[in-house]
Structure 1
Amino acid sequence: MLTIGYIGFGKSTTRYHMPYTLIRDHIRIKTIYNHRRKPELEADYAKYEIQFTDQLDELLQDTEIQLVSICTPANTHYELAKKVLESGKNVLVEKPFCTTASEAAELFALAESKGLIAMAYQNRRFDSDYLAVKEVLDSGKLGDLVELESHMDYYRPDAPRFDGEHYDGAFYGLGVHMMDQIIDLFGRPDEVSYDIRSVRNPGNPDDTFEVQFFYPKHKTIVKTSHLVNIPYPKFILHGTKGSFVKYGIDQQETCLKAGIMPGDTDFGVDPESHYGTLVYVNDAGETVQETVPTPLGDYGRLYDHLHDAILNNTVKLVADKETLTNMAILEQGFTAKNPRIISL
């Protein structure tokens, strides 16, 4: 049994973490820290016998708690994660892991010195659309990959004034997940090109980006806009033998927002209309078209991996070097004028 605690009791904790951990028999939530108690929300979890506190030391000094999951604003991640590690506990940190690569490197060094795990919450490694992409790449039917394009677009034309920092924008908020998927597949790129902008309200943090990763034999594109009013493919892949197109994003978030929880019938199931299309030339020289059913995603699998890494000493899901690569690309996106290309 892995005993865990949460720092933060907002939407991240209650929507994207607890629905998955509460249904797992090998995980126990013991304590949730929030600097302002919310009795009206705490009552919803009475049957789970979870302790709530506004005293951080109560959580940190509890010897039963092995893992602390941090679900607070980005600018608090470094200090809180450092306190957790110094208290002798493993730590899982919501995205972005930190605001700078140097902060991340310091935390990983501290974790290693104490024999602990520090890891970023890259739950979108278990997005259904991404799992479909992995299946297609593993099949070899595309031949050698030439280009992969990943989108996460919205139509949200209103953009009230928001005086946030650069790490409060779309690149740190969405790009961090999209780039992790690319890094998971292909590792560290040779070069990166940036086009990061605020289109709807120039006074706000960015809401639009296109970032390209250049590898020796292919390139990848991650792109977001909040002014896309016609559905665009979530993934587009082109190879020497074929192409793959997948419309529609993973349905877990949509279900969670609608109050449909993990374990409920049809939770996270992709509609058949969103199944991907794969067209390729087979060994006989024939053009083949296939419909690719979407695998079922499950963000809770990240906690399953952490359970095994902490209790059974298996390799953790998100490697330090992957998070450091991601953080370096995020951070360097704001060190000079866009657009531009940098070498990694």
Structure 2
Amino acid sequence: MSKIYSVGIIGYGLSAKIFHIPFITDTARFKLDAVVQRTPKPQDDASNDYPRTKIYRSTEELFNDADIDVVVISTAPNSHFELASKAMRAGKHVLVEKPFTPTSDEARELVKVAEQNNVLLTVYQNRRYDRDFLTVRKLVSEGSLGRVAEFETHFDRHRPDMPTAQSWKTDPANYSAVFDLGTHLLDQAVYLYGLPKRITGFVGSQREGNTIGLEDSFTALLHYEDGLMVTAKAGVVSPETDQLRFWIRGTKGSFKKFHLDPQEDQLKNGLRPGQENYGEEGESKHGILTTTSEGGMTTSKVKPVESKGYTTFYDQFAKALDANDAKLLPVDPGVSADVIRLCELMRQSSQQGRTLDL
């Protein structure tokens, strides 16, 4: 009989409620056994939502719980290094929410701690399991686009006003769009093509009245040996009804996709994995493939790749745990450390006004 892994999650905010617990409970190989929530409120109390789950007020209680196999860290990024280190030294396997760590040095140190303690460590780069990205990956791998010359990946929104709600995401000392949305976009590029040869970055703010220096927007150009140019971009001034997500151009064709993968919005609206229409989007939102031939160019809509969505991440994590094999992890933490290094170089490039070699 397959082992069921007991999971303890640190933090009970949006990340835990929307991006982890629904998939932990949807995956037969995991059981939500404990939640660390330091300061519950009457309308936000994990003990009310999960009365059969152990509720702890400190991380030490969780680390000392011999029943816990896996610790999920869903707290602010500046706490990731310390919490992951302590959890792994307590013999727990660890899943860290993105961004992995604030610095690439910390990320590489965590990889060493995992190896030293014979535990598995992975990072929640869940957008590898967006159906539109899986579709892009299929088109690229099967050669439908030929040799790709330009690859654009966007996460643009129209939010021109400064946020009023106070959180770590409104603190310039703890937040940058580069380490938030940027880690998703750069991870997808590195997953497909590996590390670039050079990087050019533009980081700053598109909002008026941003007196605190919050980095809300960026553009990164990744220069590859074979001439491929990857553009990764996120902005907050983009008044479009159809936001561009992917635009990929190659010698045999191009693929253009608008709108984000629907899973995040569906989860926020109460839909859960396994329910009808989860992960589905209407045909009107399918990407457009344009291909060249002797007779000219033809266009067609591309049905997204079939997928269980973010549940696949946890399915793959269970396989890695079963074999105690880091090679089977859904996300290699070493690659995530490389992505954090790219984020650092993007900011450095922007500050210095020049293209940097890796």
Deviations 1:271-310 (A, max 9, x none): 111111111125x665332211123461121111111111
SS in 2 for 1:135: helix
The 5 A counterparts of 1:132-143 are 132-143=135-146
Deviation at 1:248, TM superposition (A): 1.1
User: What is the distance in 2 between the residues matched to 1:65 and 1:39?
Assistant: 27
SS in 2 for 1:340: coil
Deviation at 1:124, TM superposition (A): 0.7
User: What is the distance in 2 between the residues matched to 1:330 and 1:166?
Assistant: 15
User: What is the distance in 2 between the residues matched to 1:100 and 1:267?
Assistant: 35
Report the number of matched residues: 342
User: What is the distance in 2 between the residues matched to 1:199 and 1:36?
Assistant: 35
SS in 2 for 1:172: coil
Residues 1:183 and 2:190 aligned together = yes
User: What is the distance in 2 between the residues matched to 1:166 and 1:325?
Assistant: 22
User: What is the distance in 1 between the residues matched to 2:148 and 2:334?
Assistant: 24
Q: Pick from 254, 261, 269: which aligns with 1:258?
A: 269
Residues 1:227 and 2:234 aligned together = no
Moved more, 328-337 or 57-66: 328-337
Deviation at 1:313, TM superposition (A): 3.0
SS in 2 for 1:192: strand
Moved more, 153-162 or 106-115: 153-162
Pair 20,320 (structure 1): closer, same or farther in 2 beyond 3 Å? closer
User: What is the distance in 2 between the residues matched to 1:46 and 1:202?
Assistant: 41
1:212 counterpart residue number: 221
User: What is the distance in 1 between the residues matched to 2:205 and 2:267?
Assistant: 29
Q: Pick from 324, 336, 341: which aligns with 1:328?
A: 341
1:193 counterpart residue number: 200
Deviations 1:143-188 (A, max 9, x none): 1010100111111121047762355021111001111011110111
User: What is the distance in 1 between the residues matched to 2:58 and 2:174?
Assistant: 28
User: What is the distance in 1 between the residues matched to 2:25 and 2:200?
Assistant: 41
User: What is the distance in 1 between the residues matched to 2:130 and 2:352?
Assistant: 30
User: What is the distance in 1 between the residues matched to 2:271 and 2:195?
Assistant: 37
Contact 2:26–2:311 (CA under 8 A) maintained in structure 1: no
Q: Pick from 229, 252, 258: which aligns with 1:247?
A: 258
User: What is the distance in 1 between the residues matched to 2:356 and 2:299?
Assistant: 38
User: What is the distance in 2 between the residues matched to 1:53 and 1:305?
Assistant: 28
TM-score of the superposed pair, with normalisation by structure 1: 0.94
CA RMSD of aligned residues (A): 1.8
SS in 2 for 1:78: helix
1:281 counterpart residue number: 292
Unaligned runs of 5+ in 1: none
1:317 counterpart residue number: 330
2:78 counterpart residue number: 75
- Amino acid of the structure 2 residue aligned with 1:42: A
Deviations 1:107-164 (A, max 9, x none): 1101101111111111111011111111211221211010100111111121047762
Deviation at 1:215, TM superposition (A): 0.8
Q: Pick from 59, 65, 69: which aligns with 2:68?
A: 65
Unaligned runs of 5+ in 2: none
Q: Pick from 97, 101, 122: which aligns with 1:119?
A: 122
- Amino acid of the structure 2 residue aligned with 1:342: L
Deviation at 1:35, TM superposition (A): 1.8
Q: Pick from 224, 232, 247: which aligns with 1:236?
A: 247
Pair 251,323 (structure 1): closer, same or farther in 2 beyond 3 Å? same
- Amino acid of the structure 1 residue aligned with 2:271: I
Residues 1:4 and 2:7 aligned together = yes
Pair 205,297 (structure 1): closer, same or farther in 2 beyond 3 Å? farther
Residues 1:343 and 2:357 aligned together = yes
Contact 1:37–1:53 (CA under 8 A) maintained in structure 2: no
User: What is the distance in 2 between the residues matched to 1:335 and 1:159?
Assistant: 25
SS in 2 for 1:115: coil
Moved more, 315-324 or 149-158: 315-324
Pair 9,290 (structure 1): closer, same or farther in 2 beyond 3 Å? same
User: What is the distance in 1 between the residues matched to 2:308 and 2:132?
Assistant: 8
Moved more, 81-90 or 303-312: 303-312
1:168 counterpart residue number: 175
Contact 2:150–2:230 (CA under 8 A) maintained in structure 1: yes
Q: Pick from 291, 296, 306: which aligns with 2:317?
A: 306
User: What is the distance in 2 between the residues matched to 1:290 and 1:263?
Assistant: 29
Pair 79,43 (structure 1): closer, same or farther in 2 beyond 3 Å? closer
